[in-house]
Structure 1
Amino acid sequence: MKKRVSIIALFVSCFAICLAASTDLNGKWKGILKFGDMELPLTYTFQVEGESLSGVVTSDQGDLPIADGKIKGSDFTFSLDIGGNVMPHAGKFYGDSTIITSEFNGMKTHLKLTRAQ
């Protein structure tokens, strides 16, 4: 009986931690995407509801809505439509930072985001 209670407690704790991690992704995050010598400041605004991720990516060139967003624990995916080209993104939430990997026209990018103040 003790073992069963311990397993249930462990499961509930893991679920709570995963839920807390995905909830903490909510809000604004900033980073700078680098292309050779060019730098593009970006702001990601994430909204998490259950396992659904939505929001917008903002740059000096305008806003792009996040589409097909999903989150499970600290891992998440979404896509952006850039001029009719769908750009898939995969990310990992680390609490104080987020890393996003994407690929566009054969070029892979990695972007570190930190919470906007």
Structure 2
Amino acid sequence: MKKTMIAALLLFGTAAVFAAITDITGKWTGAVLGPDGNSYNLTYVFKIDGENLTGTSDNTLGINAIEHGKIKDNEFVFDISANGMVIPHKGKVYTDSIALDIDYNGTPLHTVLKRAAE
């Protein structure tokens, strides 16, 4: 009985920590090195509803809605539509950051986002 109770507490504790890690609701910022060699600031505001991810992206292409966003465990995907392009994003959530891969018109870009102070 005692072992079962300890195992249940460990499982619950692990699930709670994992849930906290994957809660990316809020504002995240970073910069990405573009194909032209210049650095571009990025700001994302994420909203989570179950496995649905919505929000906005703010960068040199303007402020655009996050489309087709899905999050599962610590990985997520979404698109941004800007200037007639669909820009796919794929991310992975870590304890204090997000690694984000962006397919900008066939050019792979990578950035790390940090939670912004509200």
With structure 2 as the length reference, what TM-score do the two structures score? 0.82
CA distances 1:50-89 after superposition (whole Å, capped 9, x unpaired): 2111110112542011011111121111111122322211
Alignment map for 1:10-89 (pairs within 5 Å): 11-23=11-23, 25-35=24-34, 36-89=36-89
Count, aligned residues: 116
CA contact (8 A) 1:30 1:41 kept: yes
RMSD: 2.0
| Equivalence for 1:93 | 93
Decide whether aligned partners of structure 1 residues 103 and 53 sit closer, same or farther in structure 2, where only a CA change above 3 A counts.
Answer: same
Q: Equivalents in 1 of 2:73, 2:44: separation in Å?
A: 19
Counterpart code for 2:20: A
CA contact (8 A) 2:85 2:105 kept: no
SS at match of 2:15: helix
CA distances 1:22-73 after superposition (whole Å, capped 9, x unpaired): 22x1111111111133121111111112211111011254201101111112
Decide whether aligned partners of structure 1 residues 60 and 79 sit closer, same or farther in structure 2, where only a CA change above 3 A counts.
Answer: closer
Unaligned 5+ segments in structure 2 are none
Q: Equivalents in 1 of 2:54, 2:110: separation in Å?
A: 20
Counterpart code for 1:19: A
TM-aligned CA deviation for residue 105 of structure 1 = 2.4
User: What is the aligned-residue identity percentage?
Assistant: 35
Decide whether aligned partners of structure 1 residues 93 and 87 sit closer, same or farther in structure 2, where only a CA change above 3 A counts.
Answer: same
With structure 1 as the length reference, what TM-score do the two structures score? 0.82
TM-aligned CA deviation for residue 104 of structure 1 = 2.5
Decide whether aligned partners of structure 1 residues 3 and 86 sit closer, same or farther in structure 2, where only a CA change above 3 A counts.
Answer: farther
Moved over 4 A (4+): 1-11
SS at match of 2:71: strand
Unaligned 5+ segments in structure 1 are none
